[in-house]
Amino acid sequence: MESDKFTVEIADWERDRATLRSIREAVFVKEQNVPTELEWDGIDADCVHVIAYAPDRSAVGTGRLLSDGHIGRLAVLAPWRGRGAGSSLLLKLIALAQASGMQSIALNAQTHALAFYERLGFVAEGEDFDDAGIPHRHMQLKRSGG
């Protein structure tokens, strides 16, 4: 398959909670061994969530945007990685942040994924730090035009 076409839609936490949780459980809790109590931080109801759907309408990824412009919990199911779902999710979250007038868009990237975020305009800042046993680095979206 040359390229998958993903549809990214705004999710409703109450309606789509089971789908969002299942993706994050698979990626963060099971695959990356993030402790359940760290993954479920109690702020999901206050975030804007997005879901990436494959052409067959199966949910393959998710991410969230906090009210302060912080993007987090970007997760794509393993069989769908490297096919554009992550980029589609991130671009949608950036667009939502910009449409809301957020002046600053940031995220904490797992260090193995720095290049992915850099390709979409994020710049790494500061030193690596540990989050749930995984090395991360803070990243800020570089503003175009100054």
Q: What's the CATH number of domain 7-103, 3.40.470.10, 3.40.630.30, 3.30.70.1890, 3.40.640.10?
A: 3.40.630.30
Gap between the Cα atoms of 8 and 43, Å rounded: 21
- Average model confidence (pLDDT) across the chain: 93
Residue 2 is predicted with a pLDDT of: 38
CA 113, distance to chain mean position in Å, is 11
pLDDT bin (cut points 50, 70, 90) of residue 144 is: low
Residue 81 is predicted with a pLDDT of: 93
For 62, the token pair is: 């998710």
- Give the start-to-end residue ranges of the domains of the chain: 7-103
Beta bridge mates, 131: 134
Residue 12 is predicted with a pLDDT of: 96
pTM of the predicted structure, to 2 decimals: 0.92
Q: What is the mean pLDDT of residues 62-82?
A: 96
The secondary structure of residue 103, as a DSSP letter, is S
Q: Render pLDDT for 4-63 as a digit per residue (tens, 0 to 9).
A: 689 999 999 999 999 999 999 999 999 999 999 999 999 999 999 999 999 999 999 999
The secondary structure of residue 140, as a DSSP letter, is E
Is the pLDDT at 146 greater than 70? The verdict is no
Gap between the Cα atoms of 28 and 21, Å rounded: 10
